[in-house]
A and B are shown apart, each in its own frame.
Chain A
Amino acid sequence: MALEPNSRYAFSPLHRMQWEEAQQRYVILYPEGLVELNTPAAEILKLCDGSRDLDAITEELERKFETTGLKDDISEMLQAALDNGWIRTISVG
Chain B
Amino acid sequence: MAGSEQYPSGNPRWLLAELTYSCPLQCPYCANPIDYARHSEELDTETWKRVFSEAREMGAVQLGLSGGEPLARKDLSELVRHAHGLGYYSNLITSGYGMDEARIVELKETGLDHIQVSIQAPEKTLNNYLAGTNSYEHKKEVARLVKKHGYPMVLCVVIHRQNIALMRDILEMAIELEADYLELANTQYYGWAHLNRDQLLPTREQFEEAEAIANVYKEKLKGKMKIYYVVPDFYEDRPKACMNGWGTTFLTIAPDGLALPCHEARMLPGLNCPNVREMSVRDIWLHSAAFNKFRSFDWMQEPCRSCPEKVKDYGGCRCQAYLLTGDMKATDPACSLSPHRQRILEAVENAYSAASQAQSRPLVFRNPRNSRALIEH
A interface with B by C-beta (< 8 Å): 13-14, 16, 18, 20, 22-23, 27, 29-34, 85
Task: Report B183 CB to chain A, min CB distance, Å.
Answer: 8
- The answer to whether residues A85 and B116 also contact, given A23-B59, A32-B154 and a CB cut-off of 8 A, is no
Compute the total of residue contacts between A and B using a CB distance below 8 Å.
42
- Measured CB to CB, the nearest residue on chain A to B89 is A29
- 29 sampled A-B residue pairs with Cβ under 8 A: A13-B150, A14-B152, A14-B180, A20-B59, A20-B61, A22-B11, A22-B58, A22-B59, A23-B59, A27-B61, A29-B61, A29-B62, A29-B89, A29-B113, A30-B114, A30-B152, A31-B91, A31-B154, A31-B180, A31-B181, A32-B62, A32-B64, A32-B114, A32-B116, A32-B154, A33-B62, A34-B13, A34-B61, A85-B226
Q: How many residues of B contact A (CB 8 A)?
A: 21
**Contacts A31-B113, A31-B152, A32-B116 supplied; 14 other A-B pairs, CB < 8 Å:** A14-B152, A16-B89, A16-B113, A22-B11, A22-B57, A22-B58, A29-B62, A29-B89, A31-B154, A32-B154, A33-B62, A34-B89, A85-B223, A85-B226
Does any Cβ of A come within 8 Å of B87's Cβ? Answer: yes
Chain B residues numbered 68-106 whose CB sits less than 8 Å from any CB in chain A = 87, 89, 91
Task: Tell me which residues across on chain B come within 8 A of A27, comparing CB atoms.
Answer: 61
- The answer to whether residues A18 and B226 also contact, given A23-B59, A29-B61, A32-B116 and a CB cut-off of 8 A, is no
Chain B residues numbered 95-130 whose CB sits less than 8 Å from any CB in chain A = 113-114, 116
Complex CA–CA separation, A14 to B181 (angstroms):
11
Task: Tell me which residues across on chain B come within 8 A of A20, comparing CB atoms.
Answer: 59, 61
